[in-house]
Structure 1
Amino acid sequence: MKKVFNILIVDDHPMIIEGYSNTIKWHFKEHPVFSFNIESATSIDETVKLVDNILPQNKFDLVFLDISLPDGNTTKMHSGEDLGLFIKSKLPNVKIIAITALNDTVRLLNIIKKLSPHGLLIKSDTDGEVLTTAIKNVIKGRDYCSHSIVALLKKRVTQNKVLDDHDIQLLVELSNGAKMKELLELLPLTKSGIEKRRRLLKEKLNVKSNSDRDLVLKAKEMGFI
């Protein structure tokens, strides 16, 4: 008897979900060992509702997770990483394959450090072969990164380039137009701590100007907010 795996595909583009789903069904339709049940969600809120209401016997084994998701309307989640951490808190044994359109090494390191996915793929080179290879590796307990990610990570970006939760929160509040008075109320940091983080963020993201606007634009370009 085949082992059945329950897959959840999360992406805000229905056509991408359809493409991944069709690829999985096609490549594994005659597989002798396992088969898949596939469900999907197109937003953070829809995914949270789905995971919260899932029955134990139908829990997901594998999640394909788009990192660049719009903010949730009913949650405080700002990204696929936040959603991935929520999914892992609800389903500790789930295996997550993160998929991103971003190919900046700093951003990729941030995804790895914060989420620790079992797989990491870049959308532009995720064809049928890459998708099925990732599935086969991950369900057998082996981590998998697509070749382009392996090449990018060989650039040896240092660990201090990674942004933590306070960095992300500061960037989010700056993007909302918060001034120092509001930042002191919103963040568990002193004025000097905020100023230091803002300076270090500009160094990490290679922003040459003193403008917070430039910092926010760069953070959005790199997919941090």
Structure 2
Amino acid sequence: MNLYNPVFLVIDDHPMILTSYIRLLRENFLESTFYSSETIPKAIEYIDELPSIDMLIIDYNLAKNFDVNLRISDGQKLALYAQEKFPKAKIIMITGHEEALLIYSIHKKIRPDALLMKADVTDELLIETIRQCMIGQVFYSVGVKNVLSLLAKRQLMQQEQYIEILMLLDKGYKVQEICEIVFKSQSTVQRMLTTMKKEFGVSDLSELLKQVKLQGFI
């Protein structure tokens, strides 16, 4: 990336937060160029039209916005789109969510250069994060590290197939429907559910979901 006058694109649907980010960046990176967007469509417009972007700071929760054509409805999908256009750009994801599965999903699918919980973010932390990313370091905030550590204790939950089944269960899908969605036989899915129930020390699916939520996985 351009270390001397990088091009920033900052996306957050809260105007006050967006303004504070841009102010902070202008104070600390005097030679840089800054673009900002409160909406997904405007962010996509920048990504499509700008010749280069060196760093994107993206809030995960962009629920007020939706791009119908590209079906981009959150910061994670927007980050994936940006990575296709600018594979060398640094991605800093910020999320107000603390759910373990969501944090893990961002970590796994995007592999961002930095992942921060909004509760951890201070002016100093954000600037330090950017500087670390600029020299090629990966930076995760304390809250994110704690969540991923919790997941590491539950190695089973790091396997995407188990995560997907739990998410589908939480959305109300029946076991037979899940089998069709994940392209697995009913015996395979039942065996996986049995493994998860054993891991969480429960005997039925309702208790499994209850424990998963209590322990912060959903």
Q: Same fold (TM over 0.5)?
A: yes
Contact map agreement 2:7 2:54 (CA 8 A) in 1: yes
Identify the residue that residue 57 of structure 2 maps to in structure 1: 64
Q: CA deviation at 1:9?
A: 2.2
| Compared CA separation, residues 208 and 115, structure 1 to 2 (3 A) | farther
| Contact residue 4 and residue 37 of structure 1 kept, 8 A | no
Please report how far the alpha carbon of residue 182 of structure 1 lies from its aligned counterpart in structure 2 after TM superposition: 3.0
Gapped runs of 5+ residues in structure 2?
none
After TM superposition, the structure 1 stretch with the greater mean CA deviation from structure 2, 121-130 or 3-12, is 3-12
Query: Are the structure 2 counterparts of residues 156 and 27 from structure 1 closer, same or farther at C-alpha, using a change threshold of 3 Å?
Result: same
Alignment partner, residue 111 of structure 1: 106
**Following TM superposition, by how much is the alpha carbon of 1:102 offset from its aligned partner in structure 2, in angstroms?**
3.9
Identify if the C-alpha distance between structure 1 residues 186 and 84 changes in structure 2 by more than 3 Å, giving closer, same or farther: same
Alpha-carbon separation, structure 2, partners of 1:116 and 1:48: 20
Taking only aligned residues, the RMSD between alpha carbons, in angstroms, comes to 3.9
> Could you tell me how far apart the structure 2 residues matched to 1:42 and 1:223 are?
29
Q: Aligned residue for 1:100?
A: 95
The question of 1:210 aligning with 2:204 is answered: yes
Structure richer in helix, relative to its length: 2
**Equivalences for residues 1-225 of structure 1 within 5 A:** 3-28=4-29, 31=30, 34-43=31-40, 46=41, 49-50=44-45, 54-55=48-49, 57=51, 59-70=52-63, 72=66, 74=68, 80-103=75-98, 108-150=103-145, 157-158=152-153, 160-200=155-195, 206=200, 208=202, 210-212=204-206, 215=209, 218=212, 222=216
Q: TM-score, normalised by structure 2?
A: 0.71
- Please list every run of 5 or more consecutive structure 1 residues that lacks an aligned counterpart in the other structure: none
Structure 1 runs (4+) greater than 6 angstroms displaced: none
SS of 1:39's equivalent?
strand
Count of residue pairs the alignment pairs up = 214
Identity of aligned residues (%): 23
Q: CA deviation at 1:24?
A: 1.7
TM-score normalized with structure 1 length: 0.70
Contact kept, 8 Å, 1:175 with 1:216, in 2: the verdict is no
The C-alpha deviation readout for 1:146-181, integer Å capped at 9, x for no partner, is 345456656682472444554454345434433234
Q: For residues 172 and 41 of structure 1, do their structure 2 counterparts lie closer, same or farther at Cα, with a shift above 3 Å needed?
A: farther
Q: Displacement, 1:23? A: 2.1
State the distance in 2 between where 1:143 and 1:10 align.
20
Change (3 A) 1:160 1:85: farther
Q: Which shows bigger deviation, 112-121 or 4-13?
A: 4-13
